[in-house]
Amino acid sequence: MAVCTAIQKCAGAPPMESITLLQAIVRPTKSTQQEEKTALIQAVIGVKYASYEEWRSLLKPYILKISPLSRTSFHMFQGLFDMKPEERRVNEDMLVNDIANHQLSRNLLCQIFTRVTIIMFTFDWNRATKQAKSSMKRQAYLLSQGLSLADVQEMSQDEIKQRIKSEALSFKYFKNQHEHEVTARNRFFQLWQRIGASALFEPIWSIQNMKNKRRAHLHQAYLDMVQGRNGHAAPLLDNGSNALALTHQCYKHVLLCLCRAIGGAEFSDAIQDFLALEQGKTIHDSQAGPQPTSEGDSASTSTQD
């Protein structure tokens, strides 16, 4: 596949600048295939090391200050009516951009939080027994019908099964949709295990995109490529080590900088705790390879968690 060949050739290429990565995150392309290709190339070549202070400076326009629906924001909006046209235009433009950046920041944090939760769910789901999965599906269905978790937990298994039996057609449709959702989550989980931390903040790896059956064969080809399977050569550096094993480490640093600058220390600490859990481990965490020794500016230079 041409895309895989292009990605393989990028191994050992100079790492990108931090601003280039940020632009790819906040202004993705409209072409799904091009965006996937770009995201995988970025995962292979890595990004130059930048300190937290440098990342915070780059992210300054996106750091959450006030809510678009806060009283302060409304006062700013109301004040526009008292301004002269030339003054008002500048302030209107500033307010529009501030609100758009705020929304982008919230979406990025929600995206990271959602994908971390999906990883944890998939990790636990794949270790559950068939009986446990069936029970979980029934409970999930009842929750989708408006029952609270407390209500469901108070029901006996016989009561749950009787309710499901009386709503068989509705449950069948729910179960089919749930299976598609779990399939998409498994695709993302596999991708996370192969490319690591960048899967959490690259917009293209959304669960919605993972549900697209037409792209499933491409997705599998990408996994084959990074694993070096089915005739694909894994992206290797000159010393023979997998390029992704090193860039994963630098992207963990980028991820934590993004979380801390936009979401605060508490959010960043929670993500760091996740990365330390078994659910947060990727195949790269256990791969042998040269380790960075200083805070340089190469793709394989990173901070350790």
pLDDT tens for 115-162 read: 999 999 999 999 999 999 999 999 999 999 999 999 999 999 899 999
User: What pLDDT is recorded for position 179?
Assistant: 93
User: What pLDDT is recorded for position 284?
Assistant: 64
Q: How many domains does the chain fold into?
A: 1
* 301 within domain boundaries: no
Task: Tell the residue number behind the tokens 């440098």, with chain if given.
Answer: 54
**Are the C-beta atoms of 248 and 197 separated by less than 8 Å?**
yes
* 303 within domain boundaries: no
User: What pLDDT is recorded for position 243?
Assistant: 57
* 260 within domain boundaries: yes
Residues in the chain with pLDDT values less than 50 = 66, 69, 71, 232, 237, 287-305
* 207 within domain boundaries: yes
* 231 within domain boundaries: yes
Q: Which domain holds residue 15?
A: 2-286
DSSP 250-279: HHHHHHHHHIIIII-HHHHHHHHHHHHSGG
* 172 within domain boundaries: yes
- Among residues 74, 22, 1, 42, which one has the least CA distance to residue 229? 1
DSSP 217-251: HHHHHHHHHHHT-TTPPP-B-TTS-BHHHHHHHHH
CB burial class (10 A; 0-12, 13-18, 19+) of residue 30?
A: exposed
pTM for this one? Answer: 0.77
* 293 within domain boundaries: no
Helix (H, G, I), strand (E, B) or coil at 82: helix
Residues 6+ apart with CB under 8 A from 51: 295
* 297 within domain boundaries: no
Q: Helix %, strand %, coil % for the chain, to 5?
A: 70, 0, 25
User: What pLDDT is recorded for position 122?
Assistant: 92
Tell me the residue length of the chain: 305
